Structure 1
Amino acid sequence: MKKIHLLLIILLYTFFSVRSFAAGLAEFKGKVIDAETQAPLAGATIYITDLKAITNTNAQGEFILKNVPSKGRFLLEVRYIGYKTHSQYIDLANPVSISVALETSIIESAEVVITGSPFSSNNKTNSLSVVSIGKDKIAQSGGTNLIDAVSKVPGISQVSTGGAISKPVIRGLGYNRVLTMVDGAREEAQQWGDEHGIQVDQFSAARIEILKGPASLLYGSDALGGVINIIDDIVPAPGDFNGSFTSTYSTNSGLTASSLMLQGNDNGFVYRGRASYKNAFGFGYKDAIVPNSGFNEFNLNGMVGLNKSWGYSHLSFSRFNTNIGLVEEGPDDAGNYLNEDGDVISRSQAKDRKLGLPFQNINHYRAALNSNFILGEGQLKTTFAYQKNLRKEFEESMDEAGLNLDLSSYTYDLKYYFPNAGKWEPAIGVQGMYQKNVNEGDEFLIPDYSSNNIGAFAYLKRNFEKGAINIGARYDYKKIEGKDLNFDGEEVFNGFNNKFSNVSGSLGFAFEIAKNLVLKGNAGSGFRAPNIAELGANGRHEGTFRYEIGNSNLKQETSLQFDLGLEYTAQQVTFGLNAYANHIYNYIYPGNFNNETIDTENENGSVETLPVYRFVQTDAQLYGGEASVDFHLIKSLHFENSFAYVKGINRADDQPLPFIPAATISNELRFEPVVKGLSDTYIKVGVSNVLKQARFDSFETQTNGYTLLDAGFGTSIQTKNGKFNVWVTGQNLLNKEYYNHLSRYKPAGIYNPGRNVTFGINVPFM
């Protein structure tokens, strides 16, 4: 498998590098002006996503995109602060100079160009429900990790384990039903675990696209619930070299987080490097600090590549390293945390940044080669990636890991986009992955295993003057082999060899039924093969407070979901309304049935009784929706409101599904005054109302509703190197004690984090 991947890469590079010498060079020129005053706009950003081509307008509002192909049809994007983002298709075979008239805007709309679909497209012609969150909002959220930073988006929630670990949940579906894409490749980091977060540097994300609903057509298994697409920074314009330093401090856990980035573009040779570090002691609520809930991270990532007339090719690489403390017990009846000797752990002891037992050590290595080769007027996009996830859990010794998992993943993704004139847009693709997991420790939760899967799809989009329709079909095949294991004379795992296959499809439309009013609809089927824990788990996993037993006879999950959305965008008001119904066949979930328990021996020799959770299947129904209304009555004042609700039903007995987030109402008032000498100044106040979750499975408990108050402010100072940003974000300012229904610490009686204030700066240089 390794040799096949390497050979493909060498052949592609040899062929297209030779071809690039003969590729036609072209320039594309234009001008950007104010639509009302006709004045030129200096400093506007011009970008073609499919070519990674970028430039800026000069003092006369003029721009030149150099080293672009001599033919081909591409989506051009023009951005300028205070104006609506403009996008239009251009034909490089007819390089007529264009004039773009930007309209002023008082709404902070999301990016209009969506990249998580076969063709980069304007959101108005995209039938899927996609939300885009920019870098500024991610930074200003005050989140302790990347998923925490986007968890307030309507329809998005998180399974949290303290401040270090957050797993995305989209419309009630999480774990291996949500696919995370990083550097163009699916992340593979043992996502089946409750306390296994995503292995991504929070500072490296320039934008996050969240695709809600089944995306198996484009991504295959594990995208049954949706996709989190993490997109890195756009490369600088040719001749530019710049960098930035970002640093934040959070009061709740003493979290210090800093990141240094340098990047440049030397006539199409592009490069970027980043180093980031985080360190936190235990998080707190009211007068308590949770001991051994701290964490630290040290991350390195970089990119080198070429942007030429034949397309682009970027090699990205990263090393994500983190140590995370695991909490085994909650407080006693008096609210105190005790050590092994039964003594109360003081606040000063709980603030110790040195982790104790048990804790996780995770190293995740990733290398991805992303390329787009221009073949005449068609395009061939390829992604080859290798990931190695080393996950260790230390329970009895600081030096020797008990659980020690070594997962290697090889993924490939090839898509060909046929030449098109803008009306019909066809594409085909093939994707696959090979994995091998080995237990290196003397504690076992999942067996050694290997898996191999491949999928192929065809997609067709038809554009109209005021909308588009799309249709697609896909076939997937997956094989997974679990190894048997006998340890110390006892059988730990029974071997199995399972095969899964599926045909899925999607049909959607987007149409502007009136000025600024877009109706969207999509019907799609999803597919997910059972993960290794569901098939073969047998053991206790630290930090989960339970003993898990898998079932090798599980069938694959399939789903059928219908989405309908309505979006209105005007100068002073915007609203969105989305409704969905999702039927999942053979839905897999863990449950504690008949109060089954098992006695396990701790590292100190004592016996602990844990509930046994077995993986079972049922047909399930999830339905719900999201609504948002944003008022912009004057330019400097914004009032944003949203609501999200999901209901899950176990069709076997018409009882609630487990692990379904509660309904949420969010409101934010944002004031953006004009201050002389400053820019991007804002003051915001937000209120989040999480309703009571009274629908829960038999082994869960009710979660009461709660209200959280947030606030923040920030501003920018223009320097010769760019904008110097400062911000302050306050969360749970009333220090409310509450449980989130999806908190992994709720069963232990540990509240979610209390009041937290985050101070941040971003300093540009060069």
Structure 2
Amino acid sequence: MISLRTGVQILLLILFSQYLYGQQCNYFITGKVTGKTGLELPGARISITGNKQTIADKNGGYTINNICAGDYIISCAIDSGLPVSKTVKVEGNIQLNFVLQELSTDLKEVIISSTRAKELSTLNTVGLNNKQLFQSTGKTLGESLKSIPGLNSIQTGPSISKPVIHGLHSNRVLILNNGIRQEGQQWGSEHAPEIDPFTAAHVSVVEGAASIRYGSDALAGVVILEPAALPTDKKIGGDVNLVGASNGRMGAVSGMLDGAVDGFQWRVQGTLKRAGNFKTADYYLKNTGVAEDDYSGTLAYHKTNYGFNAFYSRYHSKMGIFDGSHVGNIQDLYAAFIRPKPITASYFSYKIDRSYQQVTHDLLKLNSYYQFKNQGKMEIIYARQTDLRNEYDIDLPYSDDPAVLAAPQISFKIKTHTLDLLYHQPDKNNFSGTWGMSGITQGNVFKGIRYLVPNFRNYGAGIYGIEKYTKDKWTLEAGLRYDYRWLRVYRRNDNSLFVYNNTSIYQNVTASIGATWQATEHFSLSANTGTAWRAPSVNELYIKGIHLSAASYELGDSTLRSERSFNTSISFKYNTEKLFAQLNIYDNEINNFIYAKPSLQPISLVSGTYPMFTYTQANVRLRGLDAEADYTFLKNFTLISKISLVRAFNKSIHDYLVFMPADRFDNALKYTWLSKYVSIQYVKVSRQTRVPPNSDYVAPPPGYGLLNSSFGMDLLAGKHILNIDFSVDNLTNIAYRDYLNRFRYYADDLGISFVLRTKLTF
């Protein structure tokens, strides 16, 4: 293997040899962006292959300077319209205009983006552009979002992760999948979102309490996954993604076809993914393979002032649980905590043995809209979700019956129905707004030879309103929401085996107010403050048993009360052709904050010995900042720097709060030329020193630094586009452990991985 020094020398040679190559790079492209009515569209985003981007001025005009000769793809998009892409051959200066179809009659896939900007404009919203989304294909959703400042992922091994926003996760982060709130076993940190990331063409994150619009579970923010807009002509198109990675010998293929005929629009999509045992820097992690197969379909129809959309998807995965997390007795457990390398066998295999979890998630979405003559719009959205999770332990029950031996030890089946009714009022006298009602009914059926959570029935309803006033450089907005939750659980007395029930009712109000000042064309300042709440989830109240996927024993507390958050955030954004910079500062006080506290006393059962965690409450305060600066210099070089800092204090014990993200610094140097790019990235994660003494089974691991690199290009073949990206993660193959990975108790994180991604669009 080449040394780090040699690799860096080769990379620099590529960079400077391409830069010094005597090509003409002083051409420019200029033009204007208008709607189909001829009205200028200021603020439209114009991007060229290689990620160079500019913003249309107040007259809809734009200019991109310092373009080299060659073939390019130029895209133009606004939040309230369908994007347009064109291919051009640059041999001199070019005049290129764009005409965008605006959103007054478009389908829901695009309406989501438009209403998001209207309803939450004073909260900091960040996301992944198309290139970043492509470069993250094959990763879990939580890992993909770690490139966004302020986001981390909490993990349980190499294949289970979920997003963390400003130190908060699980039931405090709502995931909106194709306009529907994702409902499964999201209450646990060891349950990954049941979503195929290949279905999303746009991923954005609303940082901060978005509970007014989306409900009380959006206490920390919302992750919004949106599909690409359906085509409006009769042409059949689509894309094919292929991903291969050396670590885990992972392979994934995903394909999509769509088209339109006689006013109907359609899309079909499917994904297959396989991976075997993943590898750290020094050894394989036994029984960590993944097998996933997903598919989805969409059918839509729309006219001038009305339309409907039907969407169905199925997600199915089987994920192995690392054998080294299963320990027989207390002595072996403490030995595993301090052992630098697990004693499990180290080898590669695609076979997934017990212990493992198997998940099937079905989503059916039906929505329609009607636009009135006054330009107001009414929407109704119904969704049905079924989430089946089976968990199979390595310890089989005492039985000779093959059916009993093959059955899961734990099985959950959650069915959820949601209904939303929204009215988007027409813009009038500088006012705009959205009013709505939402309802949810949910039931859980638990089966298994081990107890974990009880059967339950959950009902909820909410009503809200958001008003916005826009004039000159100012935008003011305010919102108010009322939510009602009814929860009944069905439990069995341990002694008499008599079934009884407990009923809890939660209700409260959420409110927020915010403002945005567009000081200049390039600089804006936003501030938002509000209060939100969250009712305790079923696992926090009643869980009692072994969480197989987390290799832990958890104990709930039925006396827990609702959380109440007081959140204030201020964000600054500056955007020019050469410099993009943003800073987001937040302060979040949460009373009755619920978390799983290590009891520091393992529990021994017939099946083994496990770390024990008990749910408790405290008054906490989370402060932090997220910052990013992208600076383009020497025409083709871009320096990208990101910082995420969180300070979490447990006011109830006058000390720090456990399980908060460590400081993260992300720096990258990127060089682009024609339709190619090469980059090198260094991610530094500090040791988490802000934890109370003797508050965890294992002290926080040392900090670490990861060196990553990537090279990519976009090729044109007629009207077809081929995107290629080759990257190396953990280039120096260091051994490290991440504080937010629950399996840091037993093993290192992943070692080096070579990843090849291709996408053919036709």
Report TM bin, short chain.
Answer: 0.7 to 0.9
Match of residue 174, structure 1, among 162, 169, 173: 169
2:594 alignment partner, SS class: strand
Residues 53 and 577, structure 2, Cα contact 8 Å, conserved in 1: no
1:737 paired to 2:707: no
Q: CA deviation at 1:163?
A: 2.6
| Deviation (angstroms), 1:596 | 3.4
Kindly provide the amino acid, as one letter, of the partner of residue 193 in structure 1: G
2:633 matched to 1:633?
yes
Tell me which residue corresponds to 2:750.
Answer: 753
Change (3 A) 1:362 1:122: closer
User: Which residue of 1 is the match for residue 432 of structure 2?
Assistant: 425
Partner of residue 54, structure 2:
84
- 182, 195, 200: which one aligns with 1:200: 195
Give 2:532's aligned residue: 526
Q: What displacement does 1:612 show?
A: 2.6
Correspondence 1:684-699 to 2 at 5 A: 684-697=679-692, 698-699=694-695
Name the SS for the 1:253 alignment partner: helix
Query: Deviation of residue 36 (structure 1)?
Result: 7.8
Q: Does 1:585 align with 2:591?
A: yes
1:598 matched residue in structure 2 = 603
Q: 1:101 aligns with which of 37, 43, 61?
A: 61
Report the counterpart of residue 282 of structure 2 in structure 1. Answer: 287
Relative to structure 1, the CA distance from residue 742 to residue 493 in structure 2 (aligned partners, 3 Å threshold; closer, same or farther) is farther
Q: What does residue range 214-613 of structure 1 map to in structure 2 within 5 Å? A: 214-330=209-325, 337-338=342-343, 345-347=345-347, 351-376=348-373, 377-395=375-393, 396=395, 399-421=406-428, 423-486=430-493, 495-593=501-599, 595-602=600-607, 608-613=608-613
1:216–1:493 Cα change, 3 Å: farther
Contact 2:466 2:480 in 1 (8 A): yes
- The equivalent residue for 1:661 is 661
CA-CA distance at 1:119 after TM superposition = 5.5
Question: What residue identity is the alignment partner of 1:699?
Answer: S
Contact residue 424 and residue 460 of structure 1 kept, 8 A: yes
Offset at 1:74?
11
Residue 102 of structure 2 corresponds to none
CA distance in 1 between counterparts of 2:722 and 2:297 reads 23
Q: What is the letter of the counterpart of residue 725 of structure 2?
A: W
- Aligned amino acid, residue 695 of structure 2: F
User: 2:79 maps to which residue?
Assistant: 113
Asked if structure 2 preserves the Cα contact closer than 8 Å seen for 1:75 and 1:120, the reply is no
Distance 1:87 1:294, change over 3 A: farther
Distance in 2 between residues matched to 1:423 and 1:244, nearest whole Å: 42
> For 1:710-745, what per-residue CA distance to the aligned partner results, in whole angstroms no more than 9, with x for missing partners?
100110111223211111111111111111110010
1:144 and 2:151 correspond? no
Q: Which amino acid aligns with 2:652?
A: A
Aligned positions, number: 675
Separation in structure 2 between the aligned mates of residue 273 and residue 599 of structure 1, nearest angstrom: 49
Whole-Å separation in 1 of the counterparts to 2:632 and 2:169: 34
The answer to whether the 8 Å contact 1:124/1:510 transfers is no
Confirm or deny: 8 A CA contact 2:43 2:55 kept in the other structure.
Answer: no
Question: Shift in Å at residue 514 of structure 1?
Answer: 3.5
TM-score normalised by length of structure 2: 0.83
CA–CA distance in 1 between the matches of 2:562 and 2:761? Answer: 49
Partner SS for 1:543: helix
Instruction: Write the letter of the residue equivalent to 2:266.
Output: Y
Residue identity in the other structure for 2:372: L
CA apart distance, 1:420: 1.8
Counterparts of 1:48-63 in structure 2, within 5 Å, are none
Letter in 2 for 1:616: T
Which residue of 704, 708, 711 maps to 2:702? 704
1:543 Cα deviation from its structure 2 partner? 2.8
Task: For residues 398-451 of structure 1, give each alpha carbon's deviation from its aligned partner in whole angstroms, at most 9, with x where no partner exists.
Answer: 721110101000011211011223710022111121100001222221000010
* Whole-angstrom CA distance in 2 between matches of 1:693 and 1:109: 42
Is the Cα–Cα contact under 8 Å of residues 87 and 113 in structure 1 kept in the other structure? Answer: no
CA RMSD of aligned residues (A): 2.9
In structure 2, what is the Cα distance between the partners aligned to 1:213 and 1:224?
7
Tell me if the contact between 1:622 and 1:646 (Cα under 8 Å) persists in the aligned partners: yes
TM-score, with structure 1 as normaliser: 0.83
Query: 1:378/1:142 Cα in 2 relative to 1: closer, same or farther (>3 Å)?
Result: closer
Q: Is the 8 A contact 1:392 1:405 kept in 2?
A: yes
Letter in 1 for 2:647: K
Letter in 1 for 2:349: D
Q: Aligned equivalents of 2:141 and 2:29: distance in 1? A: 41
Question: Residue 178 of structure 1: CA displacement?
Answer: 0.4
The answer (yes or no) to whether the contact 1:328–1:543 under 8 Å persists in 2 is no
In the superposition, relative to structure 1, how do residues 393 and 583 fare at CA in structure 2: closer, same or farther (>3 Å)?
A: same
Does the 8 Å CA contact 1:118/1:427 hold for their aligned counterparts? no
Structure 1 residues 463 and 562: alpha-carbon distance in aligned structure 2, compared to 1, 3 A threshold = same
What code does the residue aligned with 1:615 have? Y
Give the Cα–Cα distance (whole angstroms) in 1 for the partners of residues 681 and 117 of structure 2: 30
Give the aligned residue type for 1:598. Answer: I
Kindly provide the amino acid, as one letter, of the partner of residue 630 in structure 1: D
Work out whether residues 29 and 64 of structure 2, in 8 Å CA contact, stay in contact via their aligned partners in 1: no
Q: Where does residue 93 of structure 1 map in the other structure?
A: none
Instruction: Give the equivalent residue in structure 1 for 2:88.
Output: none
1:252-302 deviations in Å (ceiling 9; x for gaps): 111101101101122431111111011001111122000001111000111
Q: Sort the Cα spacing of 1:618 and 1:308 in 2 relative to 1 into closer, same or farther, 3 A.
A: same
In 1, Cα distance between the equivalents of 2:737 and 2:498? 36
Q: CA deviation at 1:703?
A: 2.7
Listed one character per residue, the Cα deviations across residues 648-694 of structure 1 (whole Å, up to 9, x for unaligned) are 111111111121000111111111112xxxx3x11011111111100
Q: 1:418 & 1:597 partners in 2: Cα distance?
A: 57
Report if aligned partners of 1:274, 1:300 keep a CA contact under 8 Å in 2.
Answer: yes
Q: How far apart are 1:87 and its partner, in Å?
A: 9.6
Shift of 1:193: 1.9
Q: Residues 666-681 of structure 1 correspond to what in structure 2 (within 5 A)?
A: 666-674=666-674, 679=675, 681=676
Change (3 A) 1:431 1:276: same
The 1:73/1:226 distance shift into structure 2, 3 A limit, reads farther
Give the unaligned 5+ runs of structure 2: 1-26, 68-73, 81-109, 326-334, 397-404
**One-letter amino acid matched to 1:412:** L
Describe the SS at the equivalent of 2:745: helix
CA distance in 1 between partners of 2:704 and 2:75 (Å): 29
Q: Distance in 2 between matches of 1:738 and 1:429?
A: 48
Q: Is the 8 A contact 1:112 1:122 kept in 2?
A: no
CA distance in 1, matches of 2:111, 2:665: 28
Superposed displacement of residue 170, structure 1: 0.1
- 1:335: Cα distance to partner? 5.4
Q: Give yes or no for the alignment of 1:619 onto 2:585.
A: no
CA distance, structure 2, for counterparts of residue 40 and residue 455 of structure 1: 44
> Does the CA contact (< 8 Å) of 2:581 and 2:630 recur in 1?
yes
Note closer, same or farther for the CA distance 1:598–1:121 as it changes in structure 2 (3 Å cut): closer
Conserved 8 A contact 1:645-1:663: yes
Instruction: Please report how far the alpha carbon of residue 142 of structure 1 lies from its aligned counterpart in structure 2 after TM superposition.
Output: 5.7
The superposition leaves residues 299-318 of structure 1 with CA deviations (integer Å, 9 ceiling, x where unpaired) of: 01111111321243211110
Q: Which runs of 5+ in 1 are unaligned?
A: 1-34, 47-62, 66-71, 89-98, 340-344, 603-607
Tell me by how many angstroms 1:763 deviates.
1.6
